Structure 1
Amino acid sequence: MQPAVAALVSSGLVFIATSAKSEDASWGCQVLLCAASQNPSWHGVAYCVPPMTKLISAMKRPGFSWPICHEANAGKPGHEVYEECPAGTTIGYSPQGDNDWQGEPDQCTRTINVCQSSGNRDVSMQDAGAITREVYGDGNDGCLQQITTPRPRRADPYFFDILNDEGVKQRFWFNLNH
């Protein structure tokens, strides 16, 4: 067993029988162990490359079903493409299609009162890639502006929530990039 995987098993991810080796684990448990590897990520653990490469390949086939680690009582991973928006902003949606149909939650929006914000006359220039628009019908005679910026994407968009040996859930983020 590789040191990084052994450290995971001994640090609370003890869901495979203690007498079993990680190499003998089911594919679902191998994937779970490898996805939970943080430093290094699964990419840097030789044991993890084959089961994760097998997973990535299997995901491309029709009828793919995520391999489950029943011993860990873990199902499929969660998936969150975007980071949280910075403090002071809210999640916004890009308009798509006819009638500005609400698309993905891929924007961060903040509303400011430019009439009351001294020194913020040109706030839109402070944010690279920002789109600024006035908010009409707000009762402030066009003083409110919404500044929208692209929402940051996660480098590791998949996660497993795994109970540690103390019964507390820990979130392990991972990616499936080669």
Structure 2
Amino acid sequence: MKYRLATLIALASTGFTAATADASEWGCEVLLCAASSNPSWRGVKSCHPPMERLISAMKKPGFSWPTCPEGGAGAPGYEKYAECPAGWTPTAGDDDQRPRAERGQSRCMRAVNQCNGRKRFVGSSNGGGTEITADGVTRVFSRTNTCSYIEYTARPLRSDPYYFDIKHEASGQSSRFWFNLDH
């Protein structure tokens, strides 16, 4: 990866502009800028032209990501949602009617058992209802048990939802570089 990033840096330092760069050079500019993390591409003045060109191109029909074969990366991946908090599992939203393969897992869920050896209450007064806590967690109770329930919460969004996986030539290992396209 060190060699690929060095190649990208060399390309960026040659002084070509995004307007005159061919697709591969533009793709390498995008890759180099997207991989910048401290500061992000928004804090690197020379990254503004290629990234703004990318953002503009994405709005047009038939858009395809510029690639950088020299950098070992094609089009980026995209993950809208961050990991669920510890102890929670990703799950689909309750209002998502699309087929499983097409829908995102927009909520986190966990099973809670607060019975602690107590006898379970059969025929709860809430009749298998739901309640929403002050922090926005939805609790779904079964009809026969008031001390065990399922909790749901909105899954956090990633601040940097796009990523490039860049493979290190020597080790074969990949490193993931997260970025976003917000201004």
- Which category describes the TM-score, using the shorter chain as reference length? 0.7 to 0.9
Change (3 A) 1:17 1:141: closer
Write the letter of the residue equivalent to 2:149. Answer: Q
Gapped runs of 5+ residues in structure 1?
1-8
CA distance in 1 between partners of 2:111 and 2:38 (Å): 39
- Describe the superposition over 1:23-45 as per-residue Cα deviations: whole angstroms up to 9, x where unpaired: 44700000000000000000000
Change (3 A) 1:45 1:17: closer
Which of 145, 149, 166 pairs up with 2:149?
145
Write the letter of the residue equivalent to 1:52. Answer: M
Asked if the contact 2:4–2:70 (Cα under 8 Å) also holds between the matched residues in 1, the reply is no
Asked if the contact 1:92–1:107 (Cα under 8 Å) also holds between the matched residues in 2, the reply is yes
Write the letter of the residue equivalent to 1:134. Answer: F
Corresponding pairs, count: 161
Asked if the contact 2:2–2:168 (Cα under 8 Å) also holds between the matched residues in 1, the reply is no
Change (3 A) 1:147 1:22: farther
CA distance in 1 between partners of 2:117 and 2:14 (Å): 59
Partner of 1:64: 63
Gapped runs of 5+ residues in structure 2?
119-130
Asked if the contact 2:12–2:29 (Cα under 8 Å) also holds between the matched residues in 1, the reply is no
Q: Are positions 1:107 and 2:87 aligned together? A: no
Partner of 2:162: 158
Q: Are positions 1:172 and 2:169 aligned together? A: no
Instruction: Find the residue that maps to 1:53 and give its secondary structure.
Output: helix
Change (3 A) 1:29 1:117: farther
Counterparts of 1:77-96 in structure 2, within 5 Å, are 77-96=76-95
Instruction: Find the residue that maps to 2:109 and give its secondary structure.
Output: strand
In the TM superposition, what is the alpha-carbon distance from 1:73 to its structure 2 partner?
2.3
Q: Which moved more, 1:9-18 or 1:84-93?
A: 9-18
Instruction: Find the residue that maps to 1:85 and give its secondary structure.
Output: coil
Partner of 2:43: 44
Partner of 1:73: 72
In the TM superposition, what is the alpha-carbon distance from 1:96 to its structure 2 partner?
2.5
Write the letter of the residue equivalent to 1:62. Answer: P
Partner of 2:13: 21
Q: TM-score, normalised by structure 2?
A: 0.75
CA distance in 2 between partners of 1:57 and 1:143 (Å): 53
In the TM superposition, what is the alpha-carbon distance from 1:11 to its structure 2 partner?
8.0
Counterparts of 1:107-146 in structure 2, within 5 Å, are 107-116=107-116, 125=133, 128-135=135-142, 141-146=145-150
Q: Percent identity?
A: 45
Change (3 A) 1:63 1:117: farther
Instruction: Find the residue that maps to 2:51 and give its secondary structure.
Output: helix
Asked if the contact 1:13–1:162 (Cα under 8 Å) also holds between the matched residues in 2, the reply is no
In the TM superposition, what is the alpha-carbon distance from 1:70 to its structure 2 partner?
1.4
